[in-house]
Chains A and B, each alone.
Chain A
């Protein structure tokens, strides 16, 4: 373990918290890489990252359930309110109210069925998910239903992979051992990524036919 890390831990910060912080750049890099090199768009770096961390805090199983509850409730209520013609903020407030209410119901159901583990989930990951409802609904309005579903699915997949990266203890140990080096490497890597102008992996599929044609005509 790096003596810098030791210094912080001696100060009283837990090793787990420190590892989670050191993981932020790794996950951010992973999301940037997925967009620029692979071509998975998702809903952006912020939403994906924060959902991944919410999953870590709630355990994946419950995280996914809460996520589903939030997205479905949010979308349904938006559709119901569409005809009513409300101003944006009151409309959002109603959507957030219904999402909070459905989480309330979820806990109630959990208590009746005495589902273990549900009760110990802390407030912050749940709050994060509830607030995410606003983004999902906004994307639905802006980009249309089909696109919103697609982007949300991409985001969930990225968040799940990020979840496993964060929980990868070997990587956590490495980061605690070489914190400065990892910052530097990730910084350089992202700098190069930012200058990358090559085709994305998904574009190789998108333009496959075009490329086959170009190849024939060049010969």
Chain B
């Protein structure tokens, strides 16, 4: 459980530290008019970003707990390390590319270059779907080589971790799809599209990070 505690500790210390900073030297009973931004949160005026970061904290807790379970379960006698399919490497490259292209698309959106948006979004989508498909094929390869989910706890965790990660990616694809449809259909909601792309980019980078951590862990154990 130390892994989960570590991650949660970072999240909690950050948040509680901010809260304490906000509250420590205040004399709340003094009635007065306060500054323009006193009612803003730690990120200023950005509810969607706050919402997204909160969600990422929840997802972090989720994966940290699985990793904790992984570490605890690994120590019990019957663990046989799994040899990961080589395909995972190319999948990883694809996910890295997706992240890079998304960043490029985001820069285009911020710099008001709408012409690049469509190509950027579609390419990201193809790369990301390629990753998910690649993961699925990797499952198939494992199945065909007799590495079933029940064969060993290492296998069970492999399927669980990759599956949980893929589900999170597919969730992101929903937001991506909405933004893409807007762009393709020529929506005039430039501001909305830009926000969506910005948030999606953060999410993509985050899931790439999660994948790199998971992949590193799977390779090393």
A binds B: no
